[in-house]
Structure 1
Amino acid sequence: MIEIIMPNLVGVLIATIVSFVIGAVWFAPQVMGRMWMNLLGKNEEMLRKNRNKAIVFGFLANLLTAYLLGVFVKAFFAADWLDGAEVGFLAWLAFSFTIHFTSYIFEDRPVKLFGIDAAHQLVIFVVMGAILGIWA
């Protein structure tokens, strides 16, 4: 039977909040947001319609990601921020990168859009992992 590993919940909450802030900055119009919207064929008005729902579900998705990444960090006996960042990178490579890459290929989406989304996820996973490594 698999033993359930409980991550540090303070670390999970901090990682969630930090990743949410990173996303807000990443997708700000002055950073990647304008290019991202153009590649999606959307504008701010179109995105504004679902903004509240996107914020709530985005936060919950980040919370779940941080929690499960916290489980991985503890399962790999990460002892510090660098160990945690490595676990985050491996989790990104195994789950986020591969799934996004496959989807983008089948959907014939622009390579630049994949780059923006994949790099965002990479930063999120590595930063979350580092934070969770500190709190492990």
Structure 2
Amino acid sequence: MNVDINIVGVLAGAAASIVIGSIWYSNAAFGDSWMKLAGLTDKKVKAGMTKAMITTLITTLIMSFVLAHVIGLSVFFYTDYSYLKAAIITALWMWLGFQFTHITMNGAFEQKPKKLQMINKFGQLASILAMGITIGLIGQ
């Protein structure tokens, strides 16, 4: 089976995810609460911003490529659905199976506050949905 990956979709999906993350963790949304719960200060965040943004760019591109690949596989199983609907469903399953569970497990071991875990879990949901919707709209 050959899975075609639309590189424009991958790039646009990564961009959509970064935009959503930037909004989610801004001071206008959950940024202040997230910083307080994570034990971060403005000074500490600013000092690590370049490394964090480079890491975010690289990992988001990888995540978008992998999601596009899994969506490309899932359309063979969701034969009654449009490419967009298959992309959204796949993104939801990927979030639940990997991001939600990973953040929950790490939060338990690291004894992170529940509110911090919720901010991160649902930030990841918004991010991967934006990615999936974008990939789904652009198509194969």
Residue equivalent to 2:97: 94
The whole-number CA distance in structure 2 between the counterparts of 1:48 and 1:4 is: 44
Give the distance between the partners of 1:4 and 1:45, measured in 2 at CA. Answer: 48
**Alpha carbons 1:25, 1:31 under 8 Å: kept:** yes
Of structures 1 and 2, the one scoring higher in RCO (CA 8 A, sep 6+) is: 2
CA distance, structure 2, for counterparts of residue 125 and residue 54 of structure 1 = 18
Deviation at residue 42 of structure 1 after TM alignment: 1.1
What is residue 22 of structure 1 aligned with on the other side? 20
Deviations 1:82-114 (A, max 9, x none): 221110000011111111110001111000000
> What's the offset of the Cα at 1:125?
1.3
1:114 is aligned to 2:112: no
Equivalent residue for 1:133? 136
Q: Corresponding residue for 2:3?
A: 5
TM-score normalised over the length of structure 2: 0.90
TM-score of the aligned structures, taking structure 1 as reference length = 0.93
Match of 1:82 in 2: 85
Gaps of 5+ in 2: none
Alpha-carbon distance in structure 2 between the residues aligned to 1:60 and 1:33: 22
Q: What one-letter code is carried by the residue in structure 2 that aligns with 1:83? A: A
Contact in 2 for aligned 1:92/1:122 (Cα 8 Å): yes
Once residues 31 and 126 of structure 1 are traced to their aligned partners in structure 2, the CA distance between those partners, rounded to angstroms, is 18
Report the equivalent of 1:65: 63
Q: CA deviation at 1:80?
A: 2.6
Q: What is the number of residues matched between the two proteins? A: 134
Name stretches of at least 5 consecutive residues in structure 1 with no aligned partner: none
Further displaced range: 78-87 or 121-130: 78-87
- Report deviation, 1:4: 6.2
Q: Which amino acid aligns with 2:64?
A: A
